[in-house]
Structure 1
Amino acid sequence: MIIVTGAAGFIGSCLISKLNEENFNFIIAVDDFSKIEKAPNLEGKKIQERVERSAFFEWLDQNYYEVEFIFHIGARTDTTEFDRDVLEELNVRYSQQIWQKCIDYQIPLVYASSAATYGLGELGYDDNESQIPQLKPLNPYGESKNDFDIWALQQEKKPFFWAGLKFFNVYGPNEYHKGRMASVIFHAYNQVKASGKMRLFRSHHPDFKDGEQMRDFVYVKDLLEVCSFLMHHRRNSGIYNLGSGKARTFKDLAINTFTSMGLEPNIDFVDTPADIRDKYQYFTQANMNKLRSIGYTKPFHTLEEGVKDYVQNYLSKEAYY
Structure 2
Amino acid sequence: MTQKTIVITGGAGFVGSNLIRKLNSRGQSNIIIIDNYDERKLLNIKDCQFIDYITYKKGISHIEEALSKHDIDAILHIGANADVLVKDAEIMFNANYEHSRFYLDYCTGREIPLIYASSSAVYGNSSNCIIDNAFEHPHNVYSWSKWMFDKYVLANMHAFESRVIGLRFFNIFGMGEFHKDKNASLPHRFYSFIREKGFIDLFDKQIERDYVWVEDVCDVILEILTDSSLENGIYNLGSGNPISHRAMAELVVEECVKRNVSADTSSLIKSIPMPEELLNSFQFHTKAEELPEIVSRHTAHNKEKIRKYVNQLIDRSTI
Per the normalisation by structure 2, the TM-score is 0.89
Gaps of 5+ in 1: none
Residue 113 of structure 1 aligns to which amino acid in structure 2?
S
Give the match for residue 38 of structure 1: 41
Q: In the alignment, which of 186, 189, 204 is matched to residue 188 of structure 2?
A: 186
Task: Work out whether residues 99 and 159 of structure 1, in 8 Å CA contact, stay in contact via their aligned partners in 2.
Answer: no
Give the match for residue 305 of structure 2: 306
Cα separation, partners in 2 of 1:2 and 1:201, compared to 1, 3 Å:
same
Task: Work out whether residues 117 and 136 of structure 1, in 8 Å CA contact, stay in contact via their aligned partners in 2.
Answer: yes
Task: Work out whether residues 133 and 150 of structure 1, in 8 Å CA contact, stay in contact via their aligned partners in 2.
Answer: no
Give the Å deviation of 1:141: 0.1
Give the Å deviation of 1:282: 2.2
Taking the aligned partners of 1:136 and 1:190, their CA distance within structure 2 comes to 31
| CA displacement, residues 17-57 of structure 1 (integer Å, 9 cap, x when unaligned) | 11112221111111112x21211011101111112223321
Give the Å deviation of 1:193: 1.5
> Which 10-residue stretch deviates more, 18-27 or 151-160?
151-160
Task: Work out whether residues 102 and 159 of structure 1, in 8 Å CA contact, stay in contact via their aligned partners in 2.
Answer: no
Secondary structure in 2 matching 1:38: helix
Residue 306 of structure 2 aligns to which amino acid in structure 1?
V
Residue 20 of structure 1 aligns to which amino acid in structure 2?
N
Give the match for residue 260 of structure 1: 255
After TM superposition, the runs of 4+ consecutive aligned structure 1 residues lying more than 4 A away are none
Gaps of 5+ in 2: none
Taking the aligned partners of 1:303 and 1:270, their CA distance within structure 2 comes to 27
For residues 146-185 of structure 1, the aligned pairs below 5 Å read 146-155=147-156, 156-158=158-160, 160-185=162-187
Cα separation, partners in 2 of 1:72 and 1:313, compared to 1, 3 Å:
same
Give the Å deviation of 1:309: 2.0
Secondary structure in 2 matching 1:278: coil
Secondary structure in 1 matching 2:79: coil
Cα separation, partners in 2 of 1:110 and 1:126, compared to 1, 3 Å:
same
Give the Å deviation of 1:61: 2.8
Secondary structure in 1 matching 2:201: strand
Identity %: 29
Cα separation, partners in 2 of 1:11 and 1:296, compared to 1, 3 Å:
closer
Task: Work out whether residues 8 and 32 of structure 2, in 8 Å CA contact, stay in contact via their aligned partners in 1.
Answer: yes
| 1:107 counterpart = 2:109 | no
Give the match for residue 84 of structure 2: 79
> Which 10-residue stretch deviates more, 146-155 or 15-24?
15-24
Cα separation, partners in 2 of 1:296 and 1:195, compared to 1, 3 Å:
closer
| 1:19 counterpart = 2:23 | yes
Give the match for residue 70 of structure 1: 75
Q: What is the CA RMSD across the aligned residues, in angstroms?
A: 2.0
Task: Work out whether residues 4 and 27 of structure 1, in 8 Å CA contact, stay in contact via their aligned partners in 2.
Answer: yes
Taking the aligned partners of 1:17 and 1:117, their CA distance within structure 2 comes to 29
Task: Work out whether residues 260 and 307 of structure 1, in 8 Å CA contact, stay in contact via their aligned partners in 2.
Answer: no
Cα separation, partners in 2 of 1:217 and 1:126, compared to 1, 3 Å:
same
Taking the aligned partners of 2:12 and 2:210, their CA distance within structure 1 comes to 25
Residue 45 of structure 2 aligns to which amino acid in structure 1?
L
Q: In the alignment, which of 220, 234, 241 is matched to residue 239 of structure 1?
A: 234
Cα separation, partners in 2 of 1:170 and 1:297, compared to 1, 3 Å:
closer
Taking the aligned partners of 1:202 and 1:133, their CA distance within structure 2 comes to 29
Give the Å deviation of 1:100: 0.6
